[in-house]
Amino acid sequence: MVPEILLAVVALAVGGAPLPTATAPQNIPPGLKGVGFDQRLNEQLPLDVHFTDETGQDVRLGKYFGQKPVILVLAYYQCPRLCTLVLNGLVQGLLEIPFDAGNEFDVVVVSFDPREDWQLAASKKESYVARYGRPGAEQGWHFLTGKPDAIRRLTDAVGFRYRYDEALQQFIHASGIMIATPQGRLSRYFYDVKFNPRDLRLGLVEASQQKIGSPVDQVLLYCFHYDSAIGKYSADVMRLVRVGGVLSMAAVIAFVQFLRRTSRKRQTSDVEAITVSNT
């Protein structure tokens, strides 16, 4: 079987389309074992757990629930690569749907690094509110930090598995976001660093109607990959993205060539048919 880290490249090449199997590959590189997502659809989020918001105030997670669906993102703010790609991809996807954060839905980003503080969260919020750029965005985007117990309760509830690499002083984790109903039940999981606007819109609509989606194939993009030159896993997700971009371009070119050949054959058949009918 192809290692899951390579399947991440395939996911980028085909635009995140699910693979035929709903089970994750078994031959995961040793350094990535125990890292990923367990899809816990319809699981109730721990709304009573307390975090610190981007203003330094103590808040209950339940503060952001009750009226609207919520896009939940687990990301640490000093992540050198993957978390930034996930947040950038989310913003891009949300800018292509008619719903506005703060009106039809909220975005709640929670750092899973207990060492990070609310000042970092405030800086991230300022950056992404500006990037999103829609009126009232500051009311719809929330960036939280928390203590280890609070973080663990949330990550356990959503099935987010990750670990810290002491040698590299970075977290090994996978990419993904979740959508929860207004009552805080997990409705959808999306894996990638790019999110299809149609899927986001449909996920928000379903969650607002208390609907729970179906499990999706786990084609995960990891923050780390194995570097045989140094014999360890190192942060290099950009290499995967570049390879994915090349594969995507190759797929587009091949598809265009296929269409051209098909068009020529059709035109030839039409000419032959016209010639026969005129004889």
Q: Is residue 8 situated within a structural domain?
A: yes
Q: Is residue 270 situated within a structural domain?
A: no
Q: Is residue 64 situated within a structural domain?
A: yes
Q: Is residue 279 situated within a structural domain?
A: no
CATH number at residue 106: 3.40.30.10
Q: Is residue 134 situated within a structural domain?
A: yes
Q: Is residue 275 situated within a structural domain?
A: no
Q: Is residue 28 situated within a structural domain?
A: yes
Q: Is residue 176 situated within a structural domain?
A: yes
pLDDT digits over 163-210, tens only?
A: 888 877 888 888 889 999 999 999 999 987 889 999 999 999 999 999
Longest dimension (CA), the chain: 86
pLDDT digits over 89-143, tens only?
A: 999 999 999 999 999 999 999 999 999 999 999 999 999 999 999 999 999 999 9
Number of domains in the chain: 1
Give the residue numbers spanning the domain of 118. 4-236
Query: Is the alpha carbon torsion for 78, 128, 142, 121 positive or negative?
Result: positive
How many contiguous H segments (helices) and E segments (strands) does the chain have?
A: 6, 13
Contact assessment for residue 225 and residue 5, using Cβ atoms and an 8 Å cutoff: yes
pTM score, whole prediction: 0.70
